[in-house]
Structure 1
Amino acid sequence: MHILKAGLIKSGNFWLHTILHNIIDYSDFQYESFIQNQPIYEAAKKLNLNLFKGQININFLDITKNAVFYRLGNVFRYPVDDIDGYINSCSVVWTHAPMSSNVVNIIQKFDKVVYIVRDPRDVLISWSNFVFSPYMQRYYPYIISDETDPETYLNNNLKTIVSDWMNHVGAYLKYQKYLNIHFVFYERLVHNFDRELDKILEYLEIDLDEKARAEIKEKVSLNSMKKDSPNHIRKGQLAQWVDILTDAQKEEVLEMATPLLKLLNYPLNSQIDTLPELPEKFPENLNLPDGKVVLLKPSNH
């Protein structure tokens, strides 16, 4: 089995990747890895890639409109000349790639595609803290301009981050049915992990007994992952935005993202009484902040 895990950064990607990796380990499928069989892998073991446990083992794919690259953190990036061979040598591949015609073509080569979504207001907070982490300060110092703290960064970059969220999530929604993408909501994973794990297993067509499911749940719990990867796992809480964002910031997010928040059943105020979910019926189109109108019912495929 060859699985593509996709999502915007700071949406719970590491958590979902760890879940999928464990599912493969406990299944009848043999885990395969492209990166572990590359010459750079042994050299990379000596590098200080300490964002999270096992980072060096991630099969990470950058997909642009015209090219595909595999990479190791921010220290190595190389073109993939044979994408079919690459996919066939990987059990789970991680990408943050925004949707494009090239992404559509590559997604169709995978057996399964799992996409994770998180409330953009919590993404804002997690993203703004992450850019000040030791890892980001070392490998991506240019991301910060005049900001000196997460609060200032969040305020200065709110529109950009929310726009990225809308464009990323909205574009994958467009192809959800056509590409048979399984959407996982971060909030639902936190609220009822067992149920969401069942849904993932059903989508992957993998059957695991109760013992295996319980062991996976323990291995991917917040406490376990925080202990293994303290530089990457911060709080993992739901609706942090209610207490952290200012009223003006909350309103600014709503001015931009209300249509997509409503479509996915995210709360529009500070009273958190619903969980996100895919709509039963998709609208014909969705306006995104880049000025494009995304047709959510592609008719030419």
Structure 2
Amino acid sequence: MYLIEYILRDGRDAINSLIHYTTTPVVRKRIPKYKIDSVETLYAMMDIFKKYVSDWANHINSYLKNKEKFQVVKFEELIDNKSKVVKELADCLGLDMKKEDIEDIVYKTGFKKMAKKASNHLRKGKKGDWDNYFTDEHKKNFKEIAGEELILLGYEKNYDW
């Protein structure tokens, strides 16, 4: 069996990050098809929002069909307890890592450290920010398109969010 690391993220946060990312000047310059420069404008374009959600759901369904091939780490676990996650990954790979090595990895992959090197790519490094942007209509559409996937992944227990 091949071990492939897969970092999973709450789809609502993934979509929120995508919307913020595609409206940045650097990305719009690199990818001319991204013409919208306002997060609010892009969020108001429900057809694009639905497409992003559908694309995420399709991606997740591909993962779910092959999940036995992956070692999964949730992005949220990395935020909450990166040291524990690094230790678990090392153990899974059969690596005997000292506490200092784990601390070094945690430091070198910390948000502030990485943001200095990739400031155009990293925005907040937080979980749950989607709730600051999703309207009731966004929530309704996300539930219709990918609510089941959120439940299957354990991000929600039901559709009452």
TM range (shorter): 0.7 to 0.9
- Structure 1 segment 64-143 matched on structure 2, within 5 A: 111-143=2-34
Which amino acid letter does the alignment assign opposite residue 215 of structure 1? D
- 1:167 corresponds to which of 47, 58, 65: 58
- 1:149 corresponds to which of 33, 38, 63: 38
SS in 1 for 2:119: coil
SS in 1 for 2:96: coil
The separation in 2 between residues aligned to 1:269 and 1:148, in whole angstroms, is 32
Counterpart for residue 14 of structure 1? none
Q: CA RMSD in A?
A: 1.8
Q: CA deviation at 1:269?
A: 5.0
Number of residue pairs the alignment of both structures matches: 157
SS in 1 for 2:154: coil
Counterpart for residue 190 of structure 1? 79
After superposition, the C-alpha distances for 1:48-97 in whole angstroms (9 at most, x for unaligned) are xxxxxxxxxxxxxxxxxxxxxxxxxxxxxxxxxxxxxxxxxxxxxxxxxx
- 1:209 corresponds to which of 93, 98, 102: 98
After superposition, the C-alpha distances for 1:100-125 in whole angstroms (9 at most, x for unaligned) are xxxxxxxx8xx531111111111111
Structure 1 unaligned blocks of 5 or more: 1-107, 271-301
* More strand by percentage: 1
* More helix by percentage: 2
The separation in 1 between residues aligned to 2:136 and 2:111, in whole angstroms, is 29
Point out which structure has higher relative CO (alpha carbons under 8 A, 6+ apart).
2
The separation in 2 between residues aligned to 1:228 and 1:129, in whole angstroms, is 19
Q: CA deviation at 1:134?
A: 3.0
The separation in 1 between residues aligned to 2:141 and 2:44, in whole angstroms, is 10
1:254 aligns with 2:143: yes
After superposition, the C-alpha distances for 1:154-179 in whole angstroms (9 at most, x for unaligned) are 342111111111111111121121xx
8 A contact 1:226–1:233 mirrored in 2: yes
Q: CA deviation at 1:262?
A: 0.8
Counterpart for residue 119 of structure 2? 230
Structure 1 segments, 4+ long, off by >3 Å, are none
Counterpart for residue 128 of structure 2? 239
Q: CA deviation at 1:151?
A: 2.1
Q: CA deviation at 1:203?
A: 2.4
8 A contact 1:128–1:151 mirrored in 2: no
Q: TM-score, normalised by structure 1?
A: 0.49
Aligned CA distance change for structure 1 residues 139 and 196 (closer, same or farther; 3 Å): same
The separation in 2 between residues aligned to 1:132 and 1:242, in whole angstroms, is 19
Larger Rg: 1
| Amino-acid identity (%) | 29
SS in 1 for 2:5: strand
8 A contact 1:125–1:241 mirrored in 2: yes
The separation in 2 between residues aligned to 1:246 and 1:119, in whole angstroms, is 17
- Structure 1 segment 13-52 matched on structure 2, within 5 A: none
